[in-house]
Amino acid sequence: MSISKHETDQELFTRLRLGEAAALDELFRRYYADLCRVAMRFVNNEQEAEDIIQELFVSIWEKRASQRKDLSAIGSYLRRAARNRSLNYLRDRKRIPVDDGEVPTTIAALDKADDLLEQSELRGRIDAAIDALPERCRLVFVMSKIEEMSHKEIAGALDISPKTVENQMTRAYRFLREWLVILLLIILQNDW
């Protein structure tokens, strides 16, 4: 049976549960790039992120018959699964370092201030700043602000204390604040 690009995610997931590989292919096509970005936020390595997401889809296929029937938000379910697999990957490889690094003192020259008005350009710069955070700090920040997890949930997921989560968030805010000051100075310098 052929798959229509107009089928809802729920329809595809139902067909996937019934063993239709084409439904998995369509879900993969729809979500792969987005899920790789989610994983990339955690592992900060494109190849590792792609491997995690490919393994996620293999696991979904292998466990298709036991997948929940009542899923209403397939995208949210897949993003959470990608996040959890990324965290498991880091934990299994013990890649959450204790060393927090240092705040960079310089930033490469920026494009004209007019370019900063474009949302995608600004988002790219913010993403670069977040990516420049030390690994553990970045991980805690992403879990808190992007994945919207509570400090308690983060502490449990990473097996650290809530106080450590608070300290990492403070460090992330300090780093990003300094980064924004440098960005502002560069913008002002370019305007003069």
- Say whether both 72 and 152 belong to one domain: no
- Say whether both 133 and 187 belong to one domain: yes
pLDDT, greater one: 57 or 125 = 57
- Say whether both 192 and 173 belong to one domain: yes
CB atoms near residue 89 (< 10 Å): 19
- Say whether both 4 and 90 belong to one domain: yes
Indicate if the pLDDT at residue 97 is higher than 80.
no
Across the range 165-172, mean pLDDT stands at 92
Indicate if the pLDDT at residue 102 is higher than 50.
no
Nearest to 63 by CA among 31, 1, 32, 19: 19
Across the range 108-113, mean pLDDT stands at 36
Please give the residue range of the domain that contains residue 75. Answer: 1-95
- The percentage of residues in the chain with a pLDDT greater than 90, rounded to a whole number, is 16
pLDDT of residue 104: 42
- Say whether both 4 and 91 belong to one domain: yes
pLDDT of residue 159: 86
Based on the structure, what is the number of domains in the chain?
2
- The percentage of residues in the chain with a pLDDT greater than 70, rounded to a whole number, is 74
- Say whether both 107 and 146 belong to one domain: yes
Last residue of a domain, one of 80, 95, 110: 95
CB hemisphere CA count around 74 (13 angstroms): 21
Between CA 128 and CA 148 the distance in angstroms is 20
To which residue do tokens 């990608």 refer? 82
Indicate if the pLDDT at residue 11 is higher than 70.
yes
- Say whether both 112 and 57 belong to one domain: no
pLDDT, greater one: 61 or 128 = 61
Indicate if the pLDDT at residue 111 is higher than 90.
no
- Say whether both 79 and 134 belong to one domain: no
Nearest to 44 by CA among 109, 127, 120: 127
Instruction: Supply the CATH number for residue 148's domain.
Output: 1.10.10.10
Question: Tell me: the pLDDT tens digits for 53-78?
Answer: 999 989 888 888 777 666 667 888 88
Last residue of a domain, one of 44, 67, 95: 95
Last residue of a domain, one of 42, 62, 95: 95
- Say whether both 85 and 5 belong to one domain: yes
pLDDT, greater one: 119 or 68 = 68
pLDDT, greater one: 61 or 103 = 61
- Say whether both 110 and 160 belong to one domain: yes
- Say whether both 49 and 90 belong to one domain: yes
- Say whether both 50 and 66 belong to one domain: yes
Task: Read off the pTM.
Answer: 0.52
